[in-house]
Each structure stands twice: as structure tokens, then as C-alpha cells.
Amino acid sequence: MSIGNRLSAVIEILDSIGKSALFADVGSDHAYLAIEVMKRSLADAAIASDINELPLMKGRENAELQGVDLEFILSDGFDAFDGRDVTAAAICGMGGELIARIIERSGIARRAELILQPMSHQEHLREYLWSNGFEILREIFVTEADKHYTVMHARYLGTNSDYSYLDLYLGKERAKSDAFCAYCKKICESALKRRLGIVARGGDTEDIDGLIEFCQTQTTSF
């Protein structure tokens, strides 16, 4: 069973955290991540949850085929977790705004190690985390199927963090790698389009110009 570069980065972060008592894969789709976590003994127990029953049915089939014992929960985010003591949770494959809403309405998110993989609006998720007592401890930039992503390890510390406009779009770590450079290219292309709208509205382009300039300085050779 192949899990791809995105979920491999999630596994890398989970491995660095250490074994979890209870891992939750929120929005698990076909439960590939939760299965891999248990196969690698990265958790004592694991939950696969999804808002739809059909992916859970497929996840149960996959878990049975792999000989892995998982708990499956039909849930919108953490809503149906009923006080389970989750120690690490992954929320992957959703937009950054949706991930932020899931975190905002759950006490579990303030107690567990969080591994987050937004498909879009990464800047919104970073802003939410830093403005609501969470710290982003690590970001891994990955490329999969010619698309570019970030995987974040976040933890609730109860103290808000300062951040710049550049931080919102590129994170604070900015590890120099081919994957980060590819990510910068994606961010730059989007920023150039947004800049046109700002200019049309007569707005200030200083922040976005700084973002574009930084992204353009990144190359694939170090």
C-alpha cells in the first residue's frame, strides 16, 4: 500500500513525536494513514473518522485487508469523538479554512499534537494558529503528482505568536529544498494574480511585492 509524499511527511512528523496513545485521522477518506500508523507501531490505538459513511466503509475493507485493528467514527471533525483522549491527530486533504474551523470548535485540538496538511489557503490556517495560541513547530514541504504542499506540526501553547506577511504564505521555517522552491513558485504565481487585483483597486502592494520578490529569489540549486 503506497501512501505518497504528503502522507509520508505526516508519518515522518508522527515518528519524530514518539508513540501516541491514541491517534486520530480526521477526514480519513480510505484510512490509508491510520492503517500505516498502526502498521509502523506509531500509536497504541487509532481512529479513522470521516463525515461520510462511504469512505468509512472502504476504510474498514482496507483495514481488514491489511490486518489492522482500527476504530471507525462517522464524525464532522471531532464532533462525535465523545471525550476520547486523543494524543495526536492528523487533519489532511482539506482547505486551510475548513481545518481552522475544525480546530476552533474542538477542545481535543488543544490537547493533541496536530499534523495538518491544507490543500489550499495555507495562509489562513497559519494566521488562525498563530492568532489563537498555537505554535507551528515544523513544516515539511512536499511535491506529489506535480502539486506542492506543506505539512505542519502544530501544538497549542496558549500564547499567540507574531508573524509577518511573508510568514503567512511561506511559514517561518523556509527550509531550502527543491520542494520548498517549487512551493515558492506556486505561491508566487498566485501572488502575481492577486497583485493585479490590488493594483486595480488602488491598494498598497508593498507586502505582496515583498512576497513576490522573495519567491523569485528562490532557486532549485543550493
Average pLDDT, the chain: 94
Write out pLDDT tens, residues 66-117: 999 999 999 999 999 988 999 999 999 999 999 999 999 999 999 999 999 9
Q: How many CB atoms lie within 10 A of CB 161?
A: 16
Domain boundaries, the chain: 4-165, 178-217
- 4-165, what's its fold? Rossmann fold (3.40.50)
Instruction: Flag whether pLDDT at 160 surpasses 70.
Output: yes
Contacts of 126 (CB under 8 A, 6+ apart): 96, 136, 152, 163, 167, 168, 171
Say which residues have a Cβ less than 8 Å from residue 131's Cβ, sequence separation at least 6. Answer: 160
Phi and psi angles of residue 217, each rounded to the nearest 5 degrees, phi first: -80, -15
**What whole-number distance in Å separates Cα of residue 4 and Cα of residue 9?**
9
pLDDT digits (tens, 9 = 90+) for 103-123: 999 999 999 999 999 999 999
Helix (H/G/I), strand (E/B), else coil: 212: helix
- Using CA atoms, how far apart are residues 97 and 124, in angstroms rounded to an integer? 6
Rounded CA-CA distance 122/129 in Å is 11
In angstroms, rounded to a whole number, what is the distance separating the alpha carbons of residues 148 and 144?
A: 7
Can you read off the three cell numbers belonging to residue 79?
464532533
Query: Regarding beta strands 43-50 and 71-74, do their DSSP bridges make them parallel or antiparallel, or are they unpaired?
Result: parallel
pLDDT, tens only, 167-205: 999 999 887 889 999 999 999 999 999 999 999 999 999
Give the model's pLDDT for residue 176.
Answer: 80
Return the amino acid letter for 76. D
